[in-house]
């Protein structure tokens, strides 16, 4: 009988080599050869290189050799791994192993009244102005091994991890370390593994950035600042210096969802970078776009648990997105593999380490190949982290980091016995030479006819006893210690009470135990048990049933009213409609309109087109699509970057959210184009974005191609912070009065002129400033201003500043006292985009009147009604109707308030805003006069694509309900099979607007 030598942990204290030359030794040196030979093993040197009956020779920290039939030289400890496997040690590509907790309580408080504003970083030292930019942080400098965490990782088979500082936008450098219990000096594999980034400012105390668009702008500006820093002598800045030094190593960007990958990738393109993305594991939702980045990914295995869905009312709080995500999340790794995307797998983000293998096996069930899984946990992360020459596969000269397993690594019952980390052995499960599982026949005088079944997992065996003669069944307890076992059980009858047995392995083939025992009455007995065959059927039902891996399709957008297939442009002939042309023809009765290829093709009587889908529009009204000059829909994480008086550098176009249900709802209100504005928290806000309401597309595809560049200005109470809570002790953000507002503009435009001149000077190394760039564009007539405004004094002021500084104001938006300034606006050629009837919601609208639109219009100003609100946005036609109520504007002109006139303001009236051949086929079919409260939108076309259809919507709702019900049934089934569930979320809060946002 072969006995396996089991190492005890204490042996590891002995030193095996001279890596720590500089360290003194207390007592005689204990240097050992550290030579091991693992023989007869199935060695999976890499996913593509299995070696059967192989030998692995380890010398100290390094793999000396491996292969089949290698001779074992003298002086090696020989370990026979017959029937067992050796795999390369797994690498977790994304962890915070050994990192101190980021300090979370660092925000300066205002005596319990909230946070004090912080304008520039209070961090001591010559670092960046913004605390979220901390490239000077190095994981290598603060890493300290954590024995209990290391053990947790090793249990899952990991031998190496990347560890990083999980805090900030520029997070500094990470390290690749091994998971040994040695001095930190011994663990470092690569002390500059990668540079890390994110959009999340983490614990930074600086107010800026408060929004996603601010984070993006800050990172872009940092790239420009760092480039400038190289060639200047005036400023000393450790952060920028370190930022530059880190550019040559791999760049890892952590994002929170698939669309964030696309946003980060825009930055990558701008600065010629190639990021590796650490994601949330939901790439399946935008797979094509993800693949198109050509990037590598680090993905987690965070698959949601099924929800408790028994209470139908509570189950309503689970969104369709959450339901579908539960079903599709486990398909993500397989989907990435199928798409040919290079990715590593991390255990990061799992609630408990034990979930790792469960979830990985789930991913395998859902189609991830074992080969790819192994690569994603070995060679791919090794390559990402620049340590492929040291680990990731088993090869001569690489470090001796590997795992010994009982079976194929990915098999359900596989056991990880040992981790070897750089030649040091760590025992996970004691490596027994013999698996005891099987059926045995007991031979004993006192226990005639008893059979014994050992099942379960090595390390936690279960034993069951059965006597067929009198159908006795019992569950026993077995304890194993090396080759010695003890078993006790109660047969309840013949004899009653506990029988206790002790024995040892006496033969390996067939496996036989024998020993002594004591009956309940104290009688000594002898016993023997002989293997008769494999134990069938475990008690673990969960492991047996393959999960139902069928899943519904991915839909775009991923949630309510998304579709697996996006609609396409149609050729449509509207017959016999009342057509509101917004052209000199006016409102035409009984008229046909033909659209094709996304454009309006013809308008007239008795049109025909053989290929067209004919829509009988008798009794119905056809109007141009509604244009909303002032909207805040479809924005991700913050409509304001209000932390500074001027944030001209931030761009709404960077943070578009095409999955906002508001887009669909507004299509149902006939709205086809919107200008998405930055909020009004500061005098100069961010850059706006004109979008078309294309439901289901990617963020960049929402942008209207013909749109020009706009920027948001704002005046009055919001920019003064008048209605914000005052935090005692705060240094208030400038400006606090309408006097200060003027000076913000005067100063900014003055600086922009100086900046422009300085940049234009030959050989200048003037730092590129994204904020001033935008102001220069205004001065150059390339960027148009939409200015939030209320009272006449401030409106007058800005017109004076514009005149004196030489720029133009395109639009006053809100402009509720426009009626007091209409003559001056007309003289300046400024548009007025107002509310139909809003007032009394704050002091500066105490004299807002619903006749404002009519007066401005009558005075010759180009007038629009806007929404500034995702509810009102979907019935702007009715708001236009109020120009008839208040001021008796003609119906034809009133409709233009929400179609042609805003199109003119946005300088897109060449393409949208009226029904004219050649223009974009953005059309709405109404059941009645579009200005009437009774009008219902039947169809909405954007670029000739039917994005809203009343009948189709009803069918979609039905289909969605059925699909929800299907998934819920599946969740109940999963729960019944023993899956751990999570509670349904509480009632979704109404109005998910962000607190304190001024719009």
Partner 1 sequence: MCKYADVQMKNINSMNKIFTILGGLLLSVSLAYGQANISPAKPQTKPIIITGATIHVGNGQVINNGYIAFDKGKITAIGEGAGPNTNGADVIDATGKQVYPGFICPITSLGLVEIEEGARGTVDEDETGDINPDARTLVAYNTDSKVIPTVRSNGILLAQPTPTGGIISGESSVVQLDAWNWEDAAYKTDIGIHLTWPVAVGNNRRRAAPTPGVPQESPAEKAQKAIDAIEKLFSEAKAYAEIAKPEVTNVRFEAMKGLFNGSKKLFVNADGAKEIMQAVTFAKKLGLSAVIVGGSESYLVTEVLKANNVPVIIKETQRLPDRAEDDVYLPYKLPKILQDAGVLYGLTGIGFWRQRNLPFEAGQSVGYGLTKEQALSMITQNNAKILGIDKTTGTLEVGKDANLFISTGDALDMITLDVIKEFIQGRDVNLDNLHKQLYKKWSNKYGLKTDL
Interacting positions 320-379 with partner 1 (CB under 8 A): 320-321
**Which of these ranges, 557-565, 606-614, 805-813, 911-919, lies near partner 1 under the rule CB under 8 A?**
557-565
Nearest approach, Cβ of 795 to partner 1 (angstroms)?
A: 14
Q: How many Å apart are CA 421 and CA 145, to the nearest integer?
A: 14
Q: Which is nearer to partner 1, 146 or 847 (CB)?
A: 847
* Alpha-carbon distances, residue 431 vs 168, 425, 427 (angstroms): 44, 12, 8
Q: Which is nearer to partner 1, 271 or 839 (CB)?
A: 839
Strands of the sheet containing 188-190, edge to edge, are 90-95, 158-163, 175-178, 188-190
**Which of these ranges, 403-411, 485-493, 501-509, 979-987, lies near partner 1 under the rule CB under 8 A?**
979-987
Contact string (CB under 8 A) for partner 1, positions 276-315, x = contact: -------------------------------------xx-
Interacting positions 889-918 with partner 1 (CB under 8 A): 891
Q: By CB under 8 A, tell whether 843 contacts partner 1.
A: yes
Residue 554 exposure: Cα atoms within 13 Å on the Cβ side: 14
Q: Which is nearer to partner 1, 135 or 887 (CB)?
A: 887
Alpha carbon of residue 557 to chain centroid: 15
Q: How many Å apart are CA 346 and CA 93, to the nearest integer?
A: 6
The H or E element containing residue 834 is: strand 831-834
Strands 49-59 and 275-278: unpaired
Tell me if residue 454 falls in helix, strand or coil: strand
How many CB atoms are closer than 10 A to CB 74? Answer: 5
Q: How many Å apart are CA 190 and CA 193, to the nearest integer?
A: 5
- Tokens found for residue 180: 């040994």
**Is residue 295 within 8 Å of 274, Cβ to Cβ?**
yes
Nearest approach, Cβ of 697 to partner 1 (angstroms)?
A: 18
Q: By CB under 8 A, tell whether 929 contacts partner 1.
A: yes
- Tokens found for residue 3: 């006995």
Contact string (CB under 8 A) for partner 1, positions 689-728, x = contact: ----------------------------x----xx-----
Interacting positions 723-782 with partner 1 (CB under 8 A): 723
Q: How many Å apart are CA 67 and CA 86, to the nearest integer?
A: 12
Nearest approach, Cβ of 257 to partner 1 (angstroms)?
A: 14
Residue listed under structure tokens 């500059």: 192
The H or E element containing residue 709 is: strand 709-714
Q: Which is nearer to partner 1, 340 or 986 (CB)?
A: 986
Q: Which is nearer to partner 1, 312 or 537 (CB)?
A: 312
Q: By CB under 8 A, tell whether 855 contacts partner 1.
A: yes
**Is residue 325 within 8 Å of 551, Cβ to Cβ?**
no
Nearest approach, Cβ of 436 to partner 1 (angstroms)?
A: 43
**Which of these ranges, 107-115, 594-602, 639-647, 927-935, lies near partner 1 under the rule CB under 8 A?**
927-935
**Is residue 627 within 8 Å of 189, Cβ to Cβ?**
no
Q: Which is nearer to partner 1, 664 or 784 (CB)?
A: 664
Q: By CB under 8 A, tell whether 842 contacts partner 1.
A: yes
User: Judged by CB under 8 A, which of 884, 952, 972, 981 binds partner 1?
Assistant: 884
Residue listed under structure tokens 């981790």: 419
Opening angle at CA 422, ends 417 and 425, nearest 5: 35
**Which of these ranges, 216-224, 242-250, 316-324, 773-781, lies near partner 1 under the rule CB under 8 A?**
316-324
Residue 237 DSSP label: -
Q: By CB under 8 A, tell whether 819 contacts partner 1.
A: yes
Length of the chain: 999
Residues 6+ apart with CB under 8 A from 754: none
User: Judged by CB under 8 A, which of 77, 563, 928, 972 binds partner 1?
Assistant: 928
User: Judged by CB under 8 A, which of 238, 551, 661, 730 binds partner 1?
Assistant: 661
Q: By CB under 8 A, tell whether 886 contacts partner 1.
A: yes
The H or E element containing residue 959 is: helix 950-976
Q: How many Å apart are CA 944 and CA 957, to the nearest integer?
A: 23
Nearest approach, Cβ of 858 to partner 1 (angstroms)?
A: 5
Nearest approach, Cβ of 678 to partner 1 (angstroms)?
A: 21
Nearest approach, Cβ of 932 to partner 1 (angstroms)?
A: 5
Residue listed under structure tokens 């190492």: 7
| DSSP per position, 168-215 | SSEEEE-EEEE--SS-HHHHEEETT--EEEES--TT-------SHHHH
Strands 831-834 and 587-596: unpaired
**Which of these ranges, 254-262, 435-443, 728-736, 816-824, lies near partner 1 under the rule CB under 8 A?**
816-824
**Which of these ranges, 156-164, 293-301, 556-564, 606-614, lies near partner 1 under the rule CB under 8 A?**
556-564
- Tokens found for residue 236: 């000393």
Q: Which of 338, 345, 344 is nearest to 303 (CA)?
A: 345
Q: By CB under 8 A, tell whether 38 contacts partner 1.
A: no
Q: How many Å apart are CA 775 and CA 781, to the nearest integer?
A: 10
Nearest approach, Cβ of 981 to partner 1 (angstroms)?
A: 14
User: Judged by CB under 8 A, which of 167, 325, 964, 997 binds partner 1?
Assistant: 964
Bridge partners of 573, per DSSP, are: 594, 614
Nearest approach, Cβ of 562 to partner 1 (angstroms)?
A: 10
Q: How many Å apart are CA 426 and CA 430, to the nearest integer?
A: 10
Nearest approach, Cβ of 225 to partner 1 (angstroms)?
A: 32
Strands 275-278 and 251-254: parallel
What are phi and psi for residue 375, nearest 5 degrees? -60, -40
**Which of these ranges, 146-154, 648-656, 779-787, 814-822, lies near partner 1 under the rule CB under 8 A?**
814-822
Q: Which is nearer to partner 1, 659 or 769 (CB)?
A: 659
Nearest approach, Cβ of 936 to partner 1 (angstroms)?
A: 4
Q: By CB under 8 A, tell whether 871 contacts partner 1.
A: yes
Q: Which is nearer to partner 1, 501 or 894 (CB)?
A: 894
Nearest approach, Cβ of 350 to partner 1 (angstroms)?
A: 19
**Which of these ranges, 29-37, 201-209, 275-283, 867-875, lies near partner 1 under the rule CB under 8 A?**
867-875
Interacting positions 173-212 with partner 1 (CB under 8 A): none
User: Judged by CB under 8 A, which of 932, 952, 965, 972 binds partner 1?
Assistant: 932
**Is residue 867 within 8 Å of 628, Cβ to Cβ?**
yes
- How many residues touch partner 1 (CB under 8 A)? 75
Q: How many Å apart are CA 479 and CA 459, to the nearest integer?
A: 9
User: Judged by CB under 8 A, which of 252, 639, 668, 903 binds partner 1?
Assistant: 668
Interacting positions 820-839 with partner 1 (CB under 8 A): 820, 822-823, 837-839
Q: Which is nearer to partner 1, 30 or 823 (CB)?
A: 823
Q: Which is nearer to partner 1, 246 or 929 (CB)?
A: 929
Q: How many Å apart are CA 983 and CA 15, to the nearest integer?
A: 51
**Which of these ranges, 212-220, 255-263, 744-752, 933-941, lies near partner 1 under the rule CB under 8 A?**
933-941
**Is residue 242 within 8 Å of 128, Cβ to Cβ?**
no
**Which of these ranges, 35-43, 129-137, 905-913, 929-937, lies near partner 1 under the rule CB under 8 A?**
929-937
Check whether the bond before 596 is cis (ω within 30° of 0): no
Nearest approach, Cβ of 888 to partner 1 (angstroms)?
A: 4
Q: By CB under 8 A, tell whether 561 contacts partner 1.
A: yes
User: Judged by CB under 8 A, which of 957, 973, 978, 980 binds partner 1?
Assistant: 957
Q: Which is nearer to partner 1, 314 or 466 (CB)?
A: 314
Residue 912 DSSP label: S
User: Judged by CB under 8 A, which of 281, 300, 458, 559 binds partner 1?
Assistant: 559
């Amino acid at each position: 009988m072969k006995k396996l030598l089991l190492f005890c942990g204490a042996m590891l204290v002995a030193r095996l080599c001279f890596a720590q030359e500089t360290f003194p030794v207390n007592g005689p040196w204990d240097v050992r050869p550290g030579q091991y030979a693992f023989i007869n093993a199935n060695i999976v040197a890499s996913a593509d290189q299995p070696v059967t009956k192989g030998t692995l020779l380890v010398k100290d920290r390094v793999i000396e050799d491996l292969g089949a039939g290698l001779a074992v030289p003298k002086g090696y400890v020989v370990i026979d791994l017959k029937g067992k496997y050796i795999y390369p040690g797994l690498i977790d590509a994304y962890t915070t192993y050994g990192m101190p907790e980021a300090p979370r309580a660092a925000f300066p408080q205002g005596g319990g009244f909230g946070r004090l504003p912080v304008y520039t970083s209070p961090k001591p030292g010559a670092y960046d102005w913004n605390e979220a930019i901390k490239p000077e942080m190095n994981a290598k400098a603060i890493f300290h091994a954590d024995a209990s965490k290391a053990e947790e990782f090793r249990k899952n088979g990991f031998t190496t991890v990347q560890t990083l500082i999980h805090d900030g936008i520029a997070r500094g450098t990470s390290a690749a370390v091994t998971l040994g219990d040695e001095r930190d000096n011994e663990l470092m594999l690569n002390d500059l593994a990668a540079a890390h980034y994110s959009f999340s400012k983490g614990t930074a105390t600086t107010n800026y950035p408060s929004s996603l668009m601010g984070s993006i702008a800050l990172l872009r500006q940092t790239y420009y600042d760092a480039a400038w820093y190289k060639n200047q002598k005036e400023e000393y800045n450790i952060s920028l210096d370190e930022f530059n030094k880190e550019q040559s190593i791999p760049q890892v960007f952590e994002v929170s969802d698939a669309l964030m990958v696309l946003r980060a990738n825009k930055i990558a393109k701008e600065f010629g970078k190639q990021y590796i993305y650490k994601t949330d594991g939901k790439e399946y939702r935008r797979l094509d776009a993800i693949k198109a980045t050509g990037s590598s990914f680090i993905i987690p295995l965070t698959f949601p648990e099924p929800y408790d869905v028994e209470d139908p009312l509570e189950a309503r709080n689970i969104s369709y997105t959450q339901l579908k995500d539960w079903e599709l999340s486990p398909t993500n790794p397989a989907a990435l593999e199928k798409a040919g995307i290079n990715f590593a797998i991390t255990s990061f983000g799992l609630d408990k380490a034990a979930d790792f293998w469960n979830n990985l096996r789930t991913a395998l069930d859902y189609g991830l190949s074992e080969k790819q899984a192994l690569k994603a946990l070995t060679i791919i992360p090794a390559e990402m982290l620049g340590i492929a020459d040291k680990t990731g596969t088993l090869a001569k000269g690489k470090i001796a980091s590997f795992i010994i397993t009982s079976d194929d690594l990915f098999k359900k019952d596989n056991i990880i016995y040992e981790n070897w980390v750089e030649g040091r052995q760590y025992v996970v499960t004691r490596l027994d030479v013999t698996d005891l599982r099987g059926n045995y026949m007991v031979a004993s005088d006192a226990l005639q006819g008893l059979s014994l079944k050992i099942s379960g997992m090595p390390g936690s065996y279960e034993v069951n006893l059965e006597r067929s003669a009198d159908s006795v069944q019992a569950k026993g307890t077995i304890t194993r210690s090396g080759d010695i076992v003890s078993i006790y059980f109660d047969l309840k009858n013949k004899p009653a009470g506990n029988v206790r047995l002790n024995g040892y392995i006496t033969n390996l083939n067939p496996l036989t135990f024998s020993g002594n025992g004591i009956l309940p009455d104290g009688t000594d007995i002898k016993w023997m048990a002989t293997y008769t065959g494999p134990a069938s059927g475990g008690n673990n039902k969960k492991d047996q049933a393959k999960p139902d891996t069928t899943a519904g399709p991915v839909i775009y957008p991923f949630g309510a009213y998304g579709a697996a297939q996006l609609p396409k442009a149609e050729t449509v002939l509207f017959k016999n409609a009342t057509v509101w042309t917004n052209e000199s023809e006016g409102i035409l009765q009984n008229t046909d309109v033909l659209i094709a290829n996304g454009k309006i093709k013809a308008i007239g009587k008795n049109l025909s087109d053989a290929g067209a889908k004919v829509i009988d529009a008798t009794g119905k009204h056809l109007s141009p699509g509604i244009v909303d000059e002032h909207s805040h829909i479809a924005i991700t994480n913050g409509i304001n970057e209000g932390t500074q008086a001027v944030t001209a550098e931030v761009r709404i176009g960077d943070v578009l959210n095409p999955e906002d249900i508001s887009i669909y709802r507004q299509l149902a209100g006939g709205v086809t184009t919107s200008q998405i504005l930055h909020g009004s928290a500061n005098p100069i806000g961010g850059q706006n974005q004109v979008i078309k309401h294309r439901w289901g597309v990617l963020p960049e595809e929402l942008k209207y191609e013909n749109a020009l560049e706009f920027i948001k200005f704002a005046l009055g109470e919001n920019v003064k912070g008048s209605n914000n809570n005052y935090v005692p002790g705060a240094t208030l953000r400038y400006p606090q009065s309408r006097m200060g507002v003027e000076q913000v503009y005067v100063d900014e435009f003055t600086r922009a002129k100086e900046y422009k001149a300085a940049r234009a000077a030959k050989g200048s190394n003037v730092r590129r400033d994204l904020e001033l760039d935008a102001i220069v564009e205004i001065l150059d007539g390339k960027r148009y201003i939409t200015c939030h405004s209320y009272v006449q004094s401030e409106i007058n002021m800005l017109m004076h500043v514009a005149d004196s500084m030489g720029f133009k104001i395109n639009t006053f938006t809100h402009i509720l006292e426009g009626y007091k300034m209409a003559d001056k606006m007309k003289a300046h050629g400024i548009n007025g985009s107002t509310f139909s009837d809003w007032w009394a919601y704050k002091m500066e609208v105490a004299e807002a009147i619903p006749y404002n639109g009519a007066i401005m219009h009558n005075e010759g100003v180009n007038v629009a009604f806007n929404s500034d609100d995702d509810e009102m946005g979907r019935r702007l036609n009715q708001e236009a109707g109020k120009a008839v109520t208040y001021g008796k504007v003609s119906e034809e002109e009133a409709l233009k308030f929400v179609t042609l006139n805003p199109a003119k303001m946005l300088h897109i009236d060449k393409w949208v805003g009226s029904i004219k051949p050649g223009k974009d086929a953005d059309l709405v079919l109404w059941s009645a006069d579009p200005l009437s409260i009774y009008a219902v939108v039947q169809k909405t076309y954007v670029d000739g694509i039917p994005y809203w259809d009343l009948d189709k919507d009803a069918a979609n709702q039905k289909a969605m309900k059925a699909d929800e019900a299907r998934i819920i049934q599946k969740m109940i089934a999963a729960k019944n099979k023993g899956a751990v569930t999570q509670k349904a979320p509480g009632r979704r809060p109404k109005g998910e607007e962000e607190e304190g946002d001024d719009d």
